[in-house]
Copies of this chain bind each other. A is one copy, B any other.
Amino acid sequence: MGRGCTLHTDFLLSKTVSFAYSSARHMKKIKVAQFGLGPIGIETLRLVAGKPWAEIVGAIDIDPQKAGRDLGKLTHLGKLRGRSVHARLEELLQQVKPDLIFHTTVSKFKAAFAQLEPIARLGISVVSSCEELVFPQLREPVLAARLDRMCRKTGARMVGTGVNPGFVMDLLPLCLTGVSGSVRTVQVERVVDAATRREPLQRKIGSGLPPREFRRLLKQGRAGHAGLKESLALLAHGLGWNARNITEHGEAVIARKNLQTKYLRVRKGETCGLRQRAEARLRGQVRIRLDLSMYLGAPNPHDAILIEGQPPLHVVLSGGVAGDQATVAALVNCAPRLLQAKPGLRLLTDLALPRFA
């Protein structure tokens, strides 16, 4: 213990032999399908395959190299042997109509919209890893309203989630403000050692590109981390703040020596990652600041949340929340909660408390 204190003998206060209080939320299995069989999509299928509340009814991928292939072989899941990957949603629907689709194809809501609209029309719900879908109203308010109307009409529910955006830099800080009497500022810092992440992510952050080339792609929105502004918008919305003057800055991190990962090689002077920041001001003051560093070999990876207010809160997640595992888990865990929400294009703040499902 501490200074000046000793412990009295420990004793049993009480004991409850058995306790079970179940609201039987998973009585009927949820029929799920997977749309998109990249690394995240395959891991999603593998995780959901172990859930007693889910029944996998099929998978879709528009890639001609994947369509028609055996789903069991692709996912290494014996129980999916003998099922083919469908090239189109219609093919799947000829056999079975899923209750919910895990959608893991694109980062931009505009591109996702074309895939999601026909699903909404059928009244099928969607949990998506599309980064911009975490707050689709930010960049595409018209499309978002259209998708929302369609969902309400058919009873479908749709939401975008993941670890970032969708948790570390938005939902978790918001949850912490649940015990805040006042909030002056919210600051989140996330440092990711990109060498531990999957290949697409290592490429997205510019690894191996000449800095000038990466900068050009970043400005065009063709590289970099998607969804930082969406995290900020979700945070601001959840706090009831009408954020003004949202800015986003990006910069390349340059390798000062040759680097080698499992997937690629970066030479000294080339890009080895990025630092991206988004800020929101209210009456001229910076009230939210999100600071993301993702580069190969970043030391001391962690997530830190600082909330200035009453009471002040300072939270550190040592090592940071591992990106890919956590994104897949966020998608899968979200499904039962989404189906309990009201129909419509939902925000994560509309759903019940995130938790393991």
A residues near B (Cβ < 8 Å) are: 1-22, 26, 47, 135, 137-138, 141, 163, 167, 171-172, 174-181, 183, 211, 215, 218-219, 224, 229, 233, 236-240, 242-257, 259, 271-273, 275-276, 293, 295, 297-300, 310-319, 321-322, 325-330, 332-334, 348-357
Q: In whole Å, how far is A70's beta carbon from the nearest beta carbon of chain B?
A: 24
Query: Would you mind naming 14 contact pairs between A and B with Cβ atoms under 8 Å apart?
Result: A1-B298, A2-B298, A4-B257, A4-B259, A7-B254, A7-B275, A8-B251, A8-B252, A19-B246, A175-B353, A239-B355, A239-B356, A240-B356, A351-B352
Instruction: Contact check, A175 vs B177: say whether CB atoms are below 8 A apart.
Output: no
Instruction: Contact check, B319 vs A316: say whether CB atoms are below 8 A apart.
Output: no
Q: Which of B8, B13, B178, B271 contacts A355 (CB 8 A)?
A: B178
**Chain B residue, CB-CB nearest to A178:** B354
Residue among A240, A255, A259 having the largest count of chain B Cβ atoms under 10 Å: A240
**Chain B residue, CB-CB nearest to A253:** B5
State whether A242 and B2 are in contact (beta carbons under 8 Å apart), knowing that A8-B253, A8-B254, A315-B316 are contacts in the complex.
Answer: no
Complex CA gap A138/B14 in Å reads 13
Instruction: Contact check, A356 vs B5: say whether CB atoms are below 8 A apart.
Output: no
State whether A15 and B246 are in contact (beta carbons under 8 Å apart), knowing that A5-B295, A299-B2 are contacts in the complex.
Answer: yes
Instruction: Contact check, A251 vs B7: say whether CB atoms are below 8 A apart.
Output: yes
Q: In whole Å, how far is A179's beta carbon from the nearest beta carbon of chain B?
A: 4
Instruction: Contact check, B2 vs A356: say whether CB atoms are below 8 A apart.
Output: no
Q: In whole Å, how far is A23's beta carbon from the nearest beta carbon of chain B?
A: 8
**Chain B residue, CB-CB nearest to A301:** B2
Q: How many copies does the complex hold?
A: 2
Q: In whole Å, how far is A81's beta carbon from the nearest beta carbon of chain B?
A: 23
Instruction: Contact check, A11 vs B249: say whether CB atoms are below 8 A apart.
Output: yes
Instruction: Contact check, A355 vs B177: say whether CB atoms are below 8 A apart.
Output: yes
Instruction: Contact check, B297 vs A3: say whether CB atoms are below 8 A apart.
Output: yes
Q: In whole Å, how far is A21's beta carbon from the nearest beta carbon of chain B?
A: 5
Instruction: Contact check, A319 vs B314: say whether CB atoms are below 8 A apart.
Output: yes
Complex CA gap A143/B224 in Å reads 55
Instruction: Contact check, A215 vs B11: say whether CB atoms are below 8 A apart.
Output: yes
Q: Which of B2, B240, B272, B325 contacts A357 (CB 8 A)?
A: B240
State whether A349 and B352 are in contact (beta carbons under 8 Å apart), knowing that A19-B246, A329-B180 are contacts in the complex.
Answer: yes
State whether A253 and B16 are in contact (beta carbons under 8 Å apart), knowing that A181-B47, A275-B7, A318-B316 are contacts in the complex.
Answer: no
Complex CA gap A5/B16 in Å reads 56
Q: In whole Å, how far is A162's beta carbon from the nearest beta carbon of chain B?
A: 9
Report B-chain residues with C-beta under 8 Å of the C-beta of A22.
237, 240, 242
State whether A178 and B356 are in contact (beta carbons under 8 Å apart), knowing that A8-B254, A19-B236 are contacts in the complex.
Answer: yes
Instruction: Contact check, B181 vs A328: say whether CB atoms are below 8 A apart.
Output: yes
Q: Which of B243, B255, B355 contacts A19 (CB 8 A)?
A: B243
State whether A18 and B244 are in contact (beta carbons under 8 Å apart), knowing that A6-B256, A179-B163 are contacts in the complex.
Answer: yes
Instruction: Contact check, B356 vs A15: say whether CB atoms are below 8 A apart.
Output: no
State whether A276 and B13 are in contact (beta carbons under 8 Å apart), knowing that A178-B167, A180-B333, A237-B21 are contacts in the complex.
Answer: yes
Complex CA gap A208/B314 in Å reads 32
Instruction: Contact check, B178 vs A5: say whether CB atoms are below 8 A apart.
Output: no
Complex CA gap A272/B2 in Å reads 12
Instruction: Contact check, A348 vs B353: say whether CB atoms are below 8 A apart.
Output: yes
Instruction: Contact check, A179 vs B313: say whether CB atoms are below 8 A apart.
Output: no
